[in-house]
Amino acid sequence: MPEKLPRPSQVTLAGWLIVGGSLGALVTVYAQLSRLHSLDTRESIQRSLSEPPFDGLGIRVGDALDALHVLGLVTGACAAAAVVLGWHVLRRHHASRIALTVLAVPLLLAGMASGGFFSTLVAVAVVLLWVPQSRDWFRGVPQRRRDDPHGPGARPGAPADRPLPPPSVSSRHQPGSTPPPYAGPSTSWPPTPPTPPSWPVGAAEQATRPRERGPRPAAVTGAAVLTWILCVLGAVGLVVGGVVSTADPKPLYDEMLRQYPELRDQGITQDAVVVTLWVVVVTGLMAAAFAAVLGFLTMRGHDWARVTLAVCDAVAVVVLLLVTVGFPPAVLALAMGVVAVALLLRPESRAWTRGLGR
């Protein structure tokens, strides 16, 4: 029976993200498979196959539908298994963590056919299962403060654990031995044992003093500040875009009809486009708020927050790369995202959030 240990917050967050993300992937795959053979889906696939880079591959619509069907089944099977494994991970089942790590690869790749959001969320959560705090919990190592040399799991041989050397046995009077000869009135009996060697002045206090985390590296501060700037820019851009499009939705609606003429036949109206737009805006604002909180927790020295923030910034870089194609000024935000990821992955950032920085 495994020892009862408090579950780290990293494992709790990862477990529930895996369960929730897998359930979301199941719902998405079910919706995709239910309309896979509809006329709209066939026309959409045929139009995609007639454009670069698929126009020269000779892929038929039927083959593409079969491939999407297989990928949907693989995604559904992996997501269903991940729901069960994620629940067992919360119960400290080591084999489930290994199985989830292996399962995250096909789930991530196959889930791209159905959007990829939930499968990517599960893959990011699996990474949290391998941070140092999570590894210690699965191994049964009690959690401790990393700056406490006396806590469970402290390295043996640390200055605080080093005992004072005992006095020499040869210099002490042993019971039953012949007392030393009388050496004059200044000699006392029994002989006073020599004073044990002492630590240098201030060394004992330094050895017993709890280890303090070193000053925050400039890389961590810079990454958090860049992330907050990106969050503010993204939130402002989303709100402004939503307000402008709501005030005059006709240009946006006409552009969508130009790119997707079948929307008119499906009965998509301007009001439906506006509602969808605001769903995207609210989702983006929630993502920005989440990244801002991660930046704050990273500044507080949480290693799992640093890892999660690096993944979120990397996803933002991919999104900004697509935005830059149609909006070149976004290259500045793209550069900021790349720099933020690089700063979070620097050795001094990793060492400080893991409690190793001095």
Q: What is the mean pLDDT of residues 314-339?
A: 83
Supply 41's token pair: 């889906």
Q: Which carries the bigger pLDDT value, residue 276 or residue 299?
A: 299
Q: Which carries the bigger pLDDT value, residue 252 or residue 287?
A: 287
Determine contact, residues 252/273, Cβ cutoff 8 Å: yes
pLDDT at 147: 43
- φ, ψ dihedrals at 206, nearest 5°: -70, -35
Statement: residue 179 has pLDDT above 70 = no
Statement: residue 12 has pLDDT above 70 = yes
Is the bond into 53 cis (omega within 30 degrees of 0)? yes
Q: What is the mean pLDDT of residues 240-250?
A: 80
pLDDT at 228: 92
Q: What is the mean pLDDT of residues 347-353?
A: 88
pLDDT at 316: 86
Instruction: For residue 357, name the pLDDT band (cuts at 50, 70, 90).
Output: very low
Q: Which carries the bigger pLDDT value, residue 215 or residue 264?
A: 215
Question: Which of these ranges, 193-202, 245-254, 345-354, has the smallest mean pLDDT?
Answer: 193-202
Instruction: For residue 197, name the pLDDT band (cuts at 50, 70, 90).
Output: low
- Span 127-171, pLDDT tens digits: 888 888 888 888 887 765 444 444 544 444 444 444 555 555 444
Supply 238's token pair: 């989303």
Q: Which carries the bigger pLDDT value, residue 245 or residue 219?
A: 219
pLDDT exceeding 90 applies to what percent of the chain?
4
Instruction: For residue 240, name the pLDDT band (cuts at 50, 70, 90).
Output: confident
Q: Which carries the bigger pLDDT value, residue 164 or residue 88?
A: 88
- Span 306-315, pLDDT tens digits: 988 888 888 8
Highest mean pLDDT among 103-112, 157-166, 176-185, 240-249: 103-112
pLDDT at 194: 59
Supply 118's token pair: 């939930």
Other CB atoms within 10 Å distance of the CB of residue 203: 11
pLDDT at 209: 46
Q: Which carries the bigger pLDDT value, residue 35 or residue 202?
A: 35
pLDDT at 43: 78
Supply 183's token pair: 């050496």
- Span 96-131, pLDDT tens digits: 888 888 888 888 888 887 777 888 888 888 888 888
Burial 87-123 (b: 16+ CB within 10 A, else e): bbbbebbeebbebbeebbeebbbbbebbebebbbbbb
pLDDT at 238: 85
